[in-house]
Structure 1
């Protein structure tokens, strides 16, 4: 096992001059501390060649490494086996080709940086909904977000990637044409195949000068829960809409409440008509406004805060059952009241228009679940590790209710970025034939399962 001194003595000279090597005291904080790696060494590469050299060195020393971009990866499997973190955060350059509307970004780019670069050129691009999340990680899992109604998933807009394999070899410009199987697998399961150091994505011209209507509807009266659920279920979603539905403790009182974040890409008067059914339920607080594209995610910044323990689980649902949600509400209130340290626990249901996403052939990517009506997550959020067992039990209970009451029988689907630690491969990638294909590709590119931190496909 190589020591920090070994890295400084034998690797540093192979890296670019400004690349940094730090010990355990330089470990980068992750969003979820409940299963975060505790590396003995963290590397901060400055270029793709630094990444390749680091992987080669780790392989030579028999050490497992793990790439970290934004640090928000949902649950890190086999975290105890990870010796070295390759933090890509300083590889965050973004360049925009205005003529072709193609945007190139590094492996450490976060959502806010990509949005700012696109907005500056009056473009929009498919990203996640939290500013501090790494673009690469969220994209490789499929990439759901507000603009998917117009442009599909982020992976549907991906044009090429640069890729460091498990042997430390850098492959530039990987596309459908260069390697059909690898391109298929990267789009949906890329984090289990190698390190994506750079990507090119298609951007699109802004609509409505980038302005969209959004805000927060808070329902403090829990008796309106069923009405809110029914209104969300009944929405006729067009390509310019999405909605986030939360059960959370709302500041300043931190009392449990129902929160809805509607979004409409268009003028305010049009948005009020589109969302009338939900507004008519009667929120206690209604705060809406027109937001510029580069400020659209700001309301989610508290959710992206790093640190704490967040052993989350998620599923893809076909509906939100009102009776099931009444049961979920009661369990949430009980969990919060019994565990005050977990007051930031949150349940989120996200609904996006899927027509554009399902228009792409399901077999065109490793991402399997294009037609889930909702993506839902349960995130127990606390600091005291003594709550781990109770928090896991709560999250699994909520997941079971979703699975039994809001999913089609025997069709459990989970969005990879929201999955729990031990989610069956079938729920992530679909039927056996798809998993067998992934296994075959995995064996070619990572025969020793070096990249097993997120899921084992062997």
Structure 2
């Protein structure tokens, strides 16, 4: 493990001039540092060929490698076995094909970069909800974003990819025609089958000039009565394909009051937005803070940047639920309040999101490994303790586990635990991630063909 100088000399000779190799001092921080790898070296490839060479070199030397772009997937499995991190950020070139209405980009691109490139040409593209998230990592496991109601999940809009397998062989233009079995598997469990170095996806002409309406409401130190009124307004609103709501529990600066924060979004003019959101905008709810804005497409996700900073320990999870009961809402609030008042934990949040899912449900289970098991859920919930002192790990895991139990017992149908692929816990059964025994068996059979040694075991642990 401590042969960095030897590795450096050997691998540098195989890489392009634009590539870079660093030791432990150059390790890239992740969104969740609690299970971040501690690699002997990190490689920053400059081309697809560099990625191929790194994988081949690691296989020759008996090293385990792991690719990341934004670094936002939670709880990296087998993180202690990873010797080499491949930071893909240098592979971020973008080409917008306007006549065909597609965009092709490198495997290291992040959401903000993709939005900017496509918006410049007056198109929409399905994206994640935060600018710093890696596009490929998010989309291979679904891909939630503000446009889900209109265009479906990110994974539904993929056209083709280039993939480097566990032997360091690149497979170009993988799609439903060239390799339907692999295409099905990577769209939902992609990180378990290789490294995506390039991808092409659909884009759509902007409407309303790409402008969307947004409104932030903050209820500081809210009473139970206020929380219940806001909850009922959110729960009883009809969600059209141009709507999205994110609400969270957060300690809002500068005073750090425990607050219920509501972020409303509407793709269209203000007059239509206010009508669509009239129940949540009811003046009788009396928020302590209200701010509306009209956003151009390139600023779509700016409001989420502050909550996506790397470097914290975040042993959280993300899951889907069929309903949100008010008793569960209060119970989760109390659990969050108790943990968040721990020293160094004031950045901890619980986030709940709701989208229209009609468009997403048009994709069948036969088309992707990302199944209707996830597509039809009503709310996505992220439990995100955040702190830097490792001494809080046990307490954070207990908090996460308790919230998960509440969501399962009070907000889910019996026997249907829906763990979101990029936010599942370390020991979550595969059936809860991929939607049942038959789907897991199908994935494992494909896995045996493409990665029989489970070399890509940081996400999909088959042992």
Shift of 1:364: 1.1
Partners of 2:49 and 2:307 in 1: how far apart?
34
Counterpart in the other structure of 2:455: 450
Q: Distance in 2 between matches of 1:197 and 1:187?
A: 15
Structure 2 residue aligned with 1:322: 326
Tell me the equivalent position of 2:61: 61
Q: Would you say the 8 A contact 1:248–1:344 is kept in 2?
A: yes
Alignment partner, residue 395 of structure 1: 400
> Unmatched 5+ residue regions in structure 2?
none
Q: Distance in 1 between matches of 2:337 and 2:74?
A: 24
Note if contact 1:247-1:347 (Cα within 8 Å) is conserved in structure 2: yes
Q: Work out whether 1:34 is the aligned partner of 2:34.
A: yes
Higher deviation after alignment, 36-45 or 20-29:
20-29
Shift of 1:340: 2.7
Cα deviation, residue 454, structure 1: 1.2
Q: Does 1:267 align with 2:269?
A: yes
Matching of residues 137-156 of structure 1 within 5 Å? 137-156=137-156
The equivalent residue for 1:361 is: 364
1:228 positional shift = 1.6
Report the Cα distance in structure 2 between the residues aligned to 1:436 and 1:2, rounded to whole angstroms.
39
**1:287 has 2:288 as partner:** no
Deviations 1:285-325 (Å, cap 9, x if unpaired)? 11111111101211111111111111111210011111111
Moved over 3 A (4+): none
Find the aligned partners of 1:6 and 1:185 in 2 and give their Cα distance: 37
Q: For 1:72-221, list aligned pairs within 5 A.
A: 72-220=72-220, 221=222
- Measure the CA separation in 1 of the matches of 2:14 and 2:328: 57
Q: Using the alignment, how far apart are the partners of 1:23 and 1:250 within structure 2? A: 37
User: 2:335 is matched with which residue?
Assistant: 331
- How big is each residue's C-alpha offset from its partner over 1:325-376, in whole Å with a ceiling of 9 and x where there is no partner? 1111122222223x03101100001111100000111221111211111110
Paired residue secondary structure (1:247): strand
Aligned residue pairs total 457
Find out whether 1:343 has 2:356 as its counterpart: no
Question: Contact between 1:229 and 1:321, CA under 8 Å: does it hold in 2?
Answer: no
Report the TM-score, using the length of structure 2 for normalisation: 0.97
**Out of 237, 246, 249, which is 2:251 matched to?**
249
- Measure how far apart 1:2 and its partner are: 7.6
Runs of 5+ consecutive residues of structure 1 not aligned to the other structure: none
Q: Aligned residue for 2:383?
A: 378
Please give the alpha-carbon distance, in whole angstroms, between the structure 1 residues aligned to 2:7 and 2:59: 13
RMSD of aligned Cα (Å): 1.1
Contact 1:24–1:42 (CA under 8 A) maintained in structure 2: yes
Cα distance in 2, alignment partners of residues 170 and 77 from structure 1 = 24
What SS class does the counterpart of residue 249 from structure 1 fall into?
Answer: strand
Instruction: Identify the residue that residue 223 of structure 2 maps to in structure 1.
Output: 222
User: What is the distance in 2 between the residues matched to 1:324 and 1:2?
Assistant: 49
Task: Give the CA deviation at 1:247.
Answer: 0.8
Structure 2 SS opposite 1:348: strand
CA distance in 2, matches of 1:361, 1:336: 40
Secondary structure of the corresponding residue to residue 34 of structure 2: coil
CA displacement 1:177-210 (0-9 Å, x = unmatched):
1111100001000001100011001100001001
1:347 is paired with a residue of what secondary structure?
strand
Structure 2 residue 302 is matched with structure 1 residue 301: no
Q: Shift of the alpha carbon at 1:269?
A: 1.3
Secondary structure at the residue paired with 2:271? helix
3-state SS of 1:57 partner: helix
Cα separation, 2, equivalents of 1:111 and 1:261: 19
Greater Cα shift, 345-354 or 216-225: 216-225
